[in-house]
Structure 1
Amino acid sequence: MILEAAMLQVKPGMDEAFIESFKKASPIIASMKGYIAHELQKCMEEDHKYLLLVKWETLEDHTVGFRGSEQYAEWKKLLHHYYDPFPTVEHFVSVPVGERGSE
């Protein structure tokens, strides 16, 4: 499993509209091959800052499948105009360290 993480800086005054657009965009990403789950978190310390986490089966499901799809064009149309600066997207894999500090 791959975890995609994007820190989203939403332009001031656009939070409510962004959240409504994100609700409309969520079924788009959820319909993609390799999609597992996603969540949007709002920062408690900084207004207009959100963290998007998306779980994918493979890196290519995101970078090739989703980003190369017609559905991505709709995702962009719904969401990309809210960001300033445009977010950097990073991908992570789990590091096995044992359970509950047992190792």
Structure 2
Amino acid sequence: MAVVEHALLPVRAGRESEFEAAVAEAWPLITASPGFISLEIRRPTVTGQAYLLLVKWRSVEDHRDGFRQSDRYQQWRALLHHFYDPMPEVSYFGEPL
């Protein structure tokens, strides 16, 4: 069973281009993680709204105990987390109905 990690990424106003460049740099860090299936980040359609992050993992543990406990996550965090205000909350979703 795969799970989807969901987060709304509230990027600081005026930093969108920098954020998108940092995402391109961070992309390989998550895709190399065991249990990773796919990653999608969508731009907001209205200025000032959050980006949408959707990551498909083999299991919650692959994200929480694998990626989040890895050196790759520390690099991901250094590249991206300073863009957020406030820090995003992560939710997980199971199989589609």
What are the superposed Cα offsets for residues 51-98 of structure 1, whole Å, 9 maximum, x if unpaired? 0000000110000000000111000000000000000000001243xx
Coordinate RMSD, CA, aligned: 1.0
TM-score by length of 1: 0.89
Between 73-82 and 44-53, report the one with greater CA deviation.
44-53
Tell me if 1:41 matches 2:37: no
Work out which of the two has the higher radius of gyration on C-alpha atoms and give 1 or 2. Answer: 1
Please show how residues 1-103 of structure 1 align to structure 2 within 5 Å. Answer: 1-96=2-97
45-54 or 79-88: bigger deviation = 45-54
Task: Give 5+ residue unaligned stretches, structure 1.
Answer: 97-103
Structure 1 residues 23-71: Cα deviation after superposition (integer angstroms, max 9, x where no partner): 0001100000000000101121343520000000011000000000011
Q: Secondary structure at the match of 2:69?
A: coil
Q: Which residue of 2 aligns with 1:100?
A: none
Which amino acid is 2:93 matched to?
F
Q: Identity of counterpart residues, as a percentage?
A: 40
Separation of aligned partners in 2, 1:94 and 1:35: 16
- Across the two proteins, how many residue pairs are aligned to each other? 96
Per-residue CA deviations over 1:6-29 (Å, capped at 9, x if unaligned) read: 100000110000000000001100
Q: Which runs of 5+ in 2 are unaligned?
A: none
Instruction: Compute the TM-score of the two structures, normalised by the length of structure 2.
Output: 0.94
Structure 1 letter corresponding to 2:5: E
